Amino acid sequence: MMADITPILERADANLPKSLDRLFDLVRIKSISTDPAFKADCRKAAEWLVAELNGLGFTASVRDTPGHPMVVAHHAGATADAPHVLFYGHYDVQPVDPLNLWDTDPFEPGLKELEPGRKVITGRGTADDKGQLLTFVEAARAYKDVHGSLPCRITILFEGEEESGSPSLKPFLEANAAELKADYALVCDTSMWDRDTPAISAGLRGLVGEEVVIKAADRDLHSGYFGGAAANPIRILTGILAGLHDEDSRVTLEGFYEGVEETPAQIKAGWETLGQTAEKFLGEIGLSIPSGEKNRSVLELTWARPTAEINGITGGYTGEGFKTVIAAEASAKVSFRLVGNQNPEKIREAFRAYVRSKVPADCTVEFHAHGGSPAIQLPYDSSLLNTAKLALSDEWPKPAVVIGMGGSIPIVGDFQKMLGMESLLVGFGLSDDRIHSPNEKYELQSYHKGIRSWIRILNALAA
Amino acid sequence: MMADITPILERADANLPKSLDRLFDLVRIKSISTDPAFKADCRKAAEWLVAELNGLGFTASVRDTPGHPMVVAHHAGATADAPHVLFYGHYDVQPVDPLNLWDTDPFEPGLKELEPGRKVITGRGTADDKGQLLTFVEAARAYKDVHGSLPCRITILFEGEEESGSPSLKPFLEANAAELKADYALVCDTSMWDRDTPAISAGLRGLVGEEVVIKAADRDLHSGYFGGAAANPIRILTGILAGLHDEDSRVTLEGFYEGVEETPAQIKAGWETLGQTAEKFLGEIGLSIPSGEKNRSVLELTWARPTAEINGITGGYTGEGFKTVIAAEASAKVSFRLVGNQNPEKIREAFRAYVRSKVPADCTVEFHAHGGSPAIQLPYDSSLLNTAKLALSDEWPKPAVVIGMGGSIPIVGDFQKMLGMESLLVGFGLSDDRIHSPNEKYELQSYHKGIRSWIRILNALAA
């Protein structure tokens, strides 16, 4: 049954100041999941969400896992035949270092006017993903405020380990499949095409994360005494990493491109209408030259092509001044973005085999796996997607577009495989939100119209 | 005039407990020259030395420089025609990180019995160079205790910036050339061949230090959104560093081997009699395979061949867990050990030109120079060297050997060029002293017999 939507949208508008206060409260909780020092904060964020949802009439609870807890909440629909949706978001956030590059305290959120009429919410997690998940909660609030009920039956799942590879997620889905299974999943952890154009993401790259540690001598050495004779683990590591790409920026691992298909011409043609260029895309971040495979657009490179990236490297003396040392070890964090049917475990093994082949016999190598998930390709033309497309197009200045996505949301694959659910990926982030970086922000417009968008989508899904 | 040496040596033996206390006092002063946080400690070390030397009858003073101060001290010889020697050492020490790898507090020295009859002095700077420089001071003390005079006229120069490239040294030598010029210099900052065999170093490699910073995007990026399109500065940097060596471990910089000559066959033959092998040399540090140019002995690789080493590298996320970030910048510290007539500034420029040629047009590179000095080759057969060789052979179980040296002591070149003085390099370090590393130590025997060695050398030089 479709409710009259105008009073609900108006209610969302009226609620906005308080909706913002709630987001600020949540951002203040330092729920960094990758750092054990913030374990208690992660739980605190989960408890905060449970209290909010119970206050809204959900039956919500903190659900323990071996890692950070899940939040699960249930609410009936207005009618017995209302569709059942599972909404997913994550309350954990990325680390904040380097702290000195933040203009404001990452955990003391605030509003900042970037230009007349354009306000942003600043703080770690405002865009990824606390602001996004609250758009849905606040949409439900406005709905209930006006109608006392919700148009769909809603199950909510908030995770606290998304930024650290979601180690507890699969076991949790498996153990609670009956409780979590819905008609489809709504996932709010993605971006708009631009400030005026909402987007539904239909393709997501997978991810394989690997940490590699090369160990040489049993201690740090003086490069005068031993230089020229003793193995230098940084040299070995840089040699290995430099060999990951060929001169055309293709990844050299054996079998890496197995399962990678060319994007259909029709889809590429659709992307071309978006008017994206390397100059525009890279210009935003101070660059201009695509660094990936030759003769492919930046949209193709980031949506439909696999990558190998070095996300971190360290070894030897990195402080001020100089130290003529040959380090005992060096390490790097490397990730691969996957597309099509690339197999994460095969790629992990190919990487390890390649690295091992390059390590001298008197040195050793250690590997640490950090998450692995295949790419996801959602159908480009389902009724779920078309319904959401229309609802979003009603809210925003420009019609919604269906796009690919460079990032990984492994949950989408898990929902598909483990719960047999299709996912709808709608989010209101912008490419300049600086997620994972200092000075993360979320547009006030994203928050406000995001709430209104979910009202429209829930309403349309119930029809 | 040659004094009766026996009572002086006995006096050094009797003094040893107090000599040790004095070394402990000096080691407790945290004179890390590369880190500005320890500026006051560096001065404190200089003041401590001045007080000790004045107490011994030297005219000593702290001499300011734009960086850490020098210590200069003078003492007349027993006779007007006594030779005039300049003794050089450095009171600054290397940083101590990683602190968690130290078994004892680096600045709380102590004695430790490694095996029955073999005691070592633990702490940062015990071997490099506080213990070494005090061998000379304590030798002078024993001499004066017995004779009330010194056999040579002695000038002492202690530096506080040796571990940070000696930026103030040349200007200081230039400004004080008349005061510092002596008949020859004695430098105590080198090692023995082994525990029984004293060594005089006749060849020292030079050093060029460079820090390179590659900057790409104007912020850290999410590798999902931007990966495949945006330049990754760690990838650029690893590519650059990996290209520094060819497959035979030769350095690839243009003109790098200009000025490098093959070691004379006769000298190499002498080295071969020392019985050094890759297994022994590298086995001490848990390695076995020489990493340098093929078909050269480890002695040749470390004494007579130039190198390129990466001393440190950092970029992106290096904390616990994983962060799918593309860093805004990455940096490395690189050093080159030089031999023969390699020109430090030419090599610095060749490195910079090579790096610039590899940096994409939309990225930038910054360089920071960290010291540069040519290699030194002292005459293999001078009377100074032969006198010292005999004196050392009297003290130690095995005769002294004349060796090459992998490390750099730029002062030797400066003494040669600026003051026209030949240097004698005698030191009592061992290759397992872990200088520049956690758990630095100095053998008690090195300290004790080192003191006795200088008594013998001073005595012989006066004859």
- Going from the C-alpha of B95 to that of each of A72, A421, B443, the distances in angstroms are 51, 57, 21
Please tell me the distance in Å from B34's CA to the nearest CA on chain A. 5
Between CA B153 and CA B247 the distance in angstroms is: 53
Query: Along the 463 residues of chain A, how does pLDDT read in single tens digits?
Result: 455 899 999 999 999 999 999 999 999 999 999 999 999 999 999 999 999 999 999 999 999 999 999 999 999 999 999 999 999 999 999 999 989 999 999 999 999 999 999 999 999 999 999 999 999 999 999 999 999 999 999 999 999 999 998 999 999 999 999 999 999 999 999 999 899 999 998 888 999 999 999 999 999 998 988 999 999 999 999 999 999 999 999 999 999 999 998 988 877 887 888 889 999 999 999 999 999 999 999 999 999 999 999 999 999 999 999 999 999 999 999 999 999 899 999 999 999 999 999 999 999 999 999 988 889 877 767 899 889 999 999 999 988 888 887 777 778 888 988 999 999 999 999 989 999 999 999 999 999 999 999 999 999 999 8
The answer to the question of residue A285 being in a domain is no
Are B241 and B334 within one domain?
Answer: yes
Residues of B in contact with A218 (CB under 8 A): 285-286
| Domain boundary pick from A326, A357, A373 | A373
Residue B456 lies in a domain: yes
Selection from B58, B70, B73 nearest residue B143 by Cα: B58
The reported pLDDT for the residue numbered B195 is: 93
Residue B412 within any structural domain of the chain: yes
**C-alpha–C-alpha distance, residues A189 and A433, integer Å:** 12
The verdict on a CB contact (< 8 Å) between A219 and B298 is: no
What CATH number is given to the structural domain containing B357?
3.30.70.360
Domain co-membership, A49 together with A132: yes
* Domain shared by B172 and B316, yes or no: no
Work out how many CB contacts closer than 8 A connect A with B.
356
Same domain as A333, residue A193: no
Residues from chain A that touch B376, judged by Cβ atoms under 8 A, are none
Q: Among partner residues B101, B242, B360, which is closest to A242 by beta-carbon distance?
A: B242
Question: How far apart, in whole angstroms, are the C-alpha atoms of residue B65 and residue B166?
Answer: 11
Residues in chain A within 8 Å Cβ distance of B237? 238
User: To the nearest whole angstrom, how far is the Cα of A29 from the nearest Cα of chain B?
Assistant: 20
Are A226 and B406 an interchain contact pair (Cβ–Cβ within 8 Å)?
Answer: yes
The structure tokens listed for A245 are: 């790409």
B138 and B195 co-located in one domain: yes
Boundary of a domain, candidates A373, A398, A431: A373
Q: Is the Cβ pair B363, A287 closer than 8 Å?
A: yes
Cβ separation B335–A326 shorter than 8 A: no
B276-301 pLDDT, tens per residue? Answer: 999 999 999 999 999 999 999 999 99
Measured over the CA atoms of residue B335, residue B339, residue B343 and residue B349, the dihedral's sign is negative
Q: Which of A211, A320, A326 sits opposite B35 (nearest CB)?
A: A320
Same domain, A366 and A380: no
Tell me: do B457 and B311 sit in the same domain: no
Identify the CATH number of the domain in which residue B439 sits: 3.40.630.10
Cβ-Cβ contacts under 8 Å, B34 against chain A: 319-323
Domain membership of residue A216 (yes or no) is yes
Which three-class secondary structure string do you get for A60-78? EEEECCCCCCEEEEEECCC
Task: Determine the Cα–Cα distance for residues A233 and B249; give it in Å rounded to an integer.
Answer: 14
Is residue B250 assigned to a domain? yes
Asked if A288 contacts A282 with a C-beta cutoff of 8 angstroms, the reply is yes
**Alpha carbons A401 and A312: distance in angstroms, whole number:** 34
Is the Cβ pair B333, A327 closer than 8 Å? no
Q: Which residues of B touch A205 (CB under 8 A)?
A: 224
Which residues on chain B are in Cβ contact (under 8 Å) with A228?
291-293, 301-302, 305-307, 337, 406
C-beta separation of A459 from A4 below 8 A: no
Q: Which domain holds residue B32?
A: 6-204+375-462
Residue A278 lies in a domain: no
Using CA coordinates, name the residue in chain B closest to A226: B302
Q: Sort strands B118-122 and B70-75 into parallel, antiparallel or unpaired.
A: unpaired
Closest CA to A322 of B289, B95, B160: B95
Report ipTM (2 d.p.).
0.72
Shortest distance between the Cα of B222 and any Cα of chain A, in A, equals 6
* Contact assessment for residue B347 and residue A189, using Cβ atoms and an 8 Å cutoff: no
Residue B320: its chain A contacts at CB < 8 A? 34-36
Cβ of A287 within 8 Å of Cβ of B230? The answer is yes
Residues A65 and A163 in one domain: yes
CB-nearest partner of B228 from A97, A292, A327: A292
Percent of chain B whose predicted confidence (pLDDT) is above 90? 84
In whole angstroms, give the CA distance from residue B84 to residue B426: 17
Query: Domain boundary at B315, B341, B373, which?
Result: B373
B289 and A35 in contact by Cβ < 8 A? no
Contact at CB, A301 and B228, closer than 8 angstroms:
yes
CA-based nearest distance B353→chain A, Å: 19
Is the CB of residue B169 less than 8 Å from the CB of residue B97?
Answer: no
- Position A146 in a domain: yes
pLDDT tens readout for residues B105-139: 999 999 999 999 999 999 999 999 999 999 999 99
Contacts of B305 in chain A (CB under 8 A): 228
CA of A7 vs chain B CAs: smallest distance (Å): 37
Inter-chain residue contact A325 with B285, CB threshold 8 Å: no
Judgement on whether residues B22 and B76 belong to the same structural domain of the protein: yes
Residue A207 with chain B: CB contacts under 8 Å: 224, 324
Asked if omega into A381 is within 30° of 0 (cis), the reply is no
Residues of chain B found within 8 Å of residue A102, distances taken between Cβ atoms: none
Nearest CA in chain B to A205: B224
Q: Nearest CA to CA, how far is B89 from chain A (Å)?
A: 17
Number of domains in chain A: 2
* Residues A66, A113 within the same domain: yes
Q: Does any domain span residue A277?
A: no
Residue B404 has what pLDDT? 85
Assign B2 a pLDDT band (cuts: 50, 70, 90).
low
A362 contacts B323? CB cut-off 8 A:
no
Q: What are the chain B neighbours of A95 within 8 Å (beta carbons)? A: 317, 319, 321, 323
Same domain, B315 and B424: no
In terms of domains, do B228 and B113 share one?
A: no
